[in-house]
Amino acid sequence: MDHRTVNSSRLFATLLCAAALASCDKNAVQVLPTEPVVDSRVKFFHFAVGSPTVPTVNFYADSTKMTGVVPPATGTAYGAAANGGAYSSIAAGPYTLTGRISSGADINRPIATIDTTLATGKSYSFYMIGLYDAVGKIADAFVLEDNYPAQVDYAIAHVRFVHTIGNAAPLTLYAANTVTNDTLTVTGPVAYKSASGFIAVPEGVYNLFARYTDSTDNKITRDAVSFVGGHAYTVGARGNITVTSTTASTRPILDNTANR
């Protein structure tokens, strides 16, 4: 195995730890790792919307399968974060990251590819995004460094906004506190295939809405999202902006995934 590639037992341990942490509240005793962080970490998102469908995928770093390695070993479907939203550990270095069709006649065919270098001790998110081309069998993609603040403050959360809707104009994200009704502008306009930085937001429960620049119309909404102090979150806009159905899987949606 290439010296840079993921250790499968370490990945399994990472996923188990992530599941355990997800079940704990903020007041629980935190068990910190005793070993220094020497690897990089990567999350993988399948946000490439199709009409009507897009294939499930597995994500790879070079030839090493990074997702679908822990039973049940199934591909990641549209709208999901692979490995249950957990980071995958991998040695630092240059990689070609790909999303590959997970089954059928085109199994292992790459449909999204990014060349990038992962630095020691840093965390990243790989997004397969945009409008999937079912004829060419290709989707857009990009990688972000998850550079949330290392300092933990339990009075505030840190929130980032990522724009992955291929047919939408730049979006501004707002958050209205459900108790005080105070409304925050979480980010300024964010263009497709880009992201804001992590912004400090007071702990609370919020109704989220995204709008085009200089517009009062909500293009996407999501109610009752909890931002817990001491944690970092990425809110991702995904889907097809032209879909008006309130139930279609391809409608514009605000995804919320914890980074810490």
pLDDT of residue 206: 98
- Give the list of residues 6+ apart from residue 104 with CB closer than 8 angstroms, or none: 55
pLDDT of residue 86: 94
Number of Cβ within a 10 Å radius of residue 78: 20
Same domain, 160 and 141: no
In this prediction, residue 74 carries a pLDDT of 81
Residue 211 is predicted with a pLDDT of: 98
| Contact present, 75 and 10 (Cβ < 8 Å) | no
Query: Whole-model pTM?
Result: 0.84
What's the pLDDT score for residue 111? Answer: 98
Residues 6+ apart with CB under 8 A from 111: 48, 55, 57, 99, 100, 101, 128, 132, 137, 138, 139
Same domain, 167 and 118: no
Is residue 44 a part of any domain in this protein?
A: yes
pLDDT of amino acid 37? 52
Domain that holds residue 120: 8-145
Domain ends where: 83, 110, 145? Answer: 145
Strand (E) or helix (H) holding 18: helix 8-22
Residue 1 located in a structural domain: no
Dihedral sign for Cα 126, 60, 58, 1, please: negative
Q: Are 62 and 120 within one domain?
A: yes
The CATH number covering residue 47 comes to 2.60.40
Total number of domains in the chain: 2
Find out whether 253 and 239 touch, Cβ atoms under 8 Å.
yes
Series of mean pLDDT values for 10-residue runs along the chain (260 residues): 44 42 35 54 97 92 90 84 94 98 95 98 98 96 97 96 98 98 95 98 98 94 98 98 96 97
135 and 222 inside one domain: no
Distance separating alpha carbons of residues 227 and 153, to the nearest angstrom? 13
Give residue 33's pLDDT.
40
CA distances 18 to 14, 27, 116, Å, are 6, 17, 25
Closest CA to 2 of 57, 44, 65, 58: 65
Three-point CA angle 118, 156, 255, nearest 5°: 60
